Amino acid sequence: MNKTAQTVESAAIGGTFHIEDVYPLIDGGRFPVKRIVGERVDVWADIYRDGHDVMAAALIWRLEQEREWRRAPMSHHSNDRWGGSFVPDQPGRYVYAIEAWTDEFATWKHGFELKQKAGADLTLDAIEGAGMLTKAQSGGHAAAAVILKQCEDFLQTGDTAPLLTDELQDAMAESQLRPDLTRSQLFPFVADRPRARNGAWYEMVPRSQGQTPGQHGTFKDCIARLPDVAAMGFDVVYLTPIHPIGKTNRKGRNNAVTAVDDDPGSPYAIGAAEGGHDAVHPELGTLEDFREFVAACMSHDMEVALDFAIQCSPDHPWLTQHPQWFKQRPDGSMRYAENPPKKYEDIVNPDFMSEDAGALWNALRDVVLFWIDQGVKIFRVDNPHTKPFPFWEWLIHEIQLRHPDVIFLAEAFTRPKLMKGLAKLGFTQSYTYFTWRTQKWELEQYLNELTAYPEHDFYRPNFFVNTPDILPYHLQSGEPWMFKSRVALAATLSSAYGIYNGFELLEHDPIPGKEEYLDSEKYEIKVRDWDKPGNIKPYISELNRVRRENAALQQTSNLHFLPIEDGNVIGFVKESVNQTNSVVVVIALSRDPHEIWLPLNDVQIGIADDRRNVAAVENLMTGERYPVEWGGIHVRIDPMRDPAMLFRCLA
């Protein structure tokens, strides 16, 4: 074949149409876009070709493992920009693409009508149009019936009117052949269940849920705590690791290198003679006890999230069963984990690049599948940024093909691009820098980043106010207004947020000079009075009630900030995905009383073309209503009583 022939063949294979600037896409389609099942997915693209023929385009989609495509028409808007939409009806991993082709009958009709207006002879043109009807063959029965009738009417009367009806054009659009049909590449997206975007998390250390000092808590103690947690309005109960804890190099209190006999060790030093990642710590109870805990959570309309920490104590069964999965030092000893200057003498990490890495990857996948079989559908993954990206992309894909409703939360406090990289390759939710964002300008800057394109299409933030590892400096004073302000910010700025147990009791004693808890329960068992005077449980309950009753607070992306002049008061408005609910939030960032003007003149509510200015607002905590006059309302905030005000917008 000569060079010219090759060029012609290559051009033919490439197709007539150009399909460009497709939205939504992550890195050109390398990673999946994230959406929620049951919600409309809007797709846009620039589609064009040479010449003046009439074009048609369609959006096609299917579950990744299916063969049959579903289709929806795309409409031309302006400047070769086309749009279409579809609604994924079940959770799963999907692919979609765009098809474009020439609508030959519509092209004929358009030309015929122009000639008709010009008074040209249309005899041959009419015969050509009728001939196109005889070639139609791929449509449904209804379309075929329309085509047959219109064709017969023309042949019997010679009148061209039957060839020019909209009904016939629609039937031909469905039925005619598409010899120049061009399909774009396939683009991935994931449709998750609503919990992937929205939920209030309560982090619980199981062994500290008992009521007897010095006695290890059990799953039954955890069950006894559930009514209290449910009363605060939480959706997810997240457990730190529940597996057997190693004894070799066990850490003592406050991370002491040497433990005494009654020190329980860190739950992150996973594995002992009793088992590894697929076993439960004997002092917590049995596997059956754990299943009862899962069932009890379900009875309170809550889910269980389990910590998935890929690390082993030196006593983990894998070290003797599969020593090739771990790195050894020159003297033959196992290399313990380090994050200089931190040392974790009680932990060794698997070697993901070992010669037997495939077996290790499969074993870790099987651990996740094991806990799914026990009723767990949410996993908080510890330090995923220290493991290979290809592993996570493979693991999450493997799990979600079998269990599309499983959710993975990435606990990665690391560099921003690395955190976003983890979200792109499949993590459903991600920890964030919210924990350290305290000033108005940096909160606004950070949320504007997370809610912009393309971040809002792949990065779902989960705002934790504290963790077992992090006691932020701004909480170390123990001031109730600050605890309320921070949980209000987390619960309203993000649709997913969490607290670590003890936050509701205002626990705030730090290791001097550090953002760490003194006497951390990572290394000891604590017993608490969960109704301790001064707790803010009622406040958290009210926040979660408002969240559940207002869909605007169950999403993060549709948010914009209000221009409040006071630099220590932040204000914003959020609107639900279906535009039926809008909430304005005002939160004080300092302890002093604040008198502010809340500008609402630019806030509009309502669906699609029926948008209108806000006429009044309703205080969601008190039920009081205030008319919007002169484009806003006057607000007084006393943070010592309540640093946050939440208003539903009324038309």
Q: Answer whether residue 322 is part of any domain.
A: yes
Residues 234 and 151 in one domain: no
Report if residue 551 sits inside a domain.
no
In DSSP notation, 59-84 reads EEEEETT----EEEE-EEEETTEEEE
- We report the CATH number of the domain holding residue 601 as 2.60.40.1180
**Would 537 be classed as within a structural domain?**
no
What does the alpha-carbon distance between residue 221 and residue 254 come to, in Å, rounded to a whole number?
Answer: 24
Q: Across residues 51-75, what is the average pLDDT?
A: 95
Q: Is the pLDDT of residue 292 over 90?
A: yes
Residue 309 placed within a domain: yes
Which of 150, 170, 191 terminates a domain? The answer is: 191
* Overall average pLDDT of the 206-215 stretch: 95
Identity of residue 350: P
pLDDT at residue 609, as a whole number: 84
Residues 242-270: what's their mean pLDDT?
95
- Is residue 4's pLDDT more than 50? no
Please check whether residues 96 and 113 belong to one and the same domain: yes
pLDDT of residue 190: 97
| C-alpha triplet 196, 409, 44: angle, nearest 5° | 50
For residues 366 and 489, state if they share a domain: yes
- Residues 95/401, Cβ–Cβ less than 8 Å: no
We report the CATH number of the domain holding residue 256 as 3.20.20.80
User: Confidence band (pLDDT; 50, 70, 90) for 11?
Assistant: very low
Q: In whole angstroms, give the CA distance from residue 178 to residue 166.
A: 19
> Which tokens go with 238?
């997240």
Q: Is 251 annotated as a binding-site member?
A: yes
| Stretch 273-297: mean pLDDT | 98
Q: Name the phi and psi angles at 266, rounded to 5.
A: -85, 130
Average predicted confidence (pLDDT) for the chain: 94
Model confidence at 311: pLDDT above 90: yes
pLDDT band at 330 (very low <50, low <70, confident <90, very high): confident
Give the residue with greater pLDDT, 52 vs 196: 196
Q: Which position among 192, 235, 382, 524 bears the catalytic label?
A: 382
Concatenating the DSSP letter of every residue in 104-126 gives HHHHHHHHHHHHHHHT---HHHH
Picking from 436, 589, 557, 435, the residue whose alpha carbon sits closest to that of residue 499 is: 435
Q: Are residues 167 and 250 located together in one domain of the fold?
A: no
CATH assignment at residue 85: 2.60.40.10
Range of the domain at 165: 3-191
The residue written with tokens 């004080």 in the block is 588
> Which of 142-146, 312-316, 368-372, 463-467 bottoms out in mean pLDDT, i.e. has the lowest?
142-146
Give pLDDT tens digits for 72-89. Answer: 999 999 999 999 999 999
Q: Do 168 and 204 fall into the same domain?
A: no
Whether residue 488 is contained in a domain is answered as yes
345 and 254 both lie in a single domain: yes
Asked, for residue 336, whether it belongs to a domain, the answer is yes
Last residue of a domain, one of 173, 191, 209: 191
> Is 531 within the bounds of a domain?
no
Query: How confident is residue 286, by pLDDT bands cut at 50, 70 and 90?
Result: very high
Residues 177 and 211 in one domain: no
Least confident of 159-163, 328-332, 423-427, 579-583: 328-332
Q: Is 522 annotated as a binding residue?
A: yes
Give pLDDT, residue 328: 85
Q: pLDDT category, 247, cuts 50, 70, 90?
A: very high
Token reading at 201: 């998390």
Structural domain ending residue among the three candidates 191, 222, 257: 191
Check 103, 125, 192, 411 and give the catalytic one. Answer: 411
Query: What is the mean pLDDT of the segment spanning 130-155?
Result: 89
What percent of the chain lies above the pLDDT cut of 90? 89
Tokens in use for 627? 């008319």
Residues 329 and 363 in one domain: yes
pLDDT in tens, 596-625: 999 999 999 999 888 999 999 999 999 999
Query: Annotated catalytic, 565?
Result: no
Nearest-angstrom CA–CA distance, 32 and 187: 7
Whether residue 529 lies inside any domain: the answer is no
DSSP 490-550: HHHH-SEEEEETTGGGT--PBPTTSSSBTT-TTSS-----TT-TT--HHHHHHHHHHHHH-
Report residue 143 as tokens.
Answer: 């379309």
pLDDT single digits (tens) 564-598: 999 999 999 999 999 999 999 999 999 999 999 99
In this structure, the answer to whether residues 357 and 445 fall within a common structural domain is: yes
Same domain, 400 and 303: yes
Question: What pLDDT shows up at residue 15?
Answer: 60
383 belongs to an annotated ligand binding site: yes
Active site residue 382: yes
Q: What is the pTM of this model?
A: 0.93
249 labeled binding residue: no
Mean pLDDT of 453-481: 97
Total number of domains in the chain: 3
**Do 32 and 102 belong together in one domain?**
yes
State the average pLDDT over residues 187-210: 98
Both 80 and 221 in one domain: the answer is no
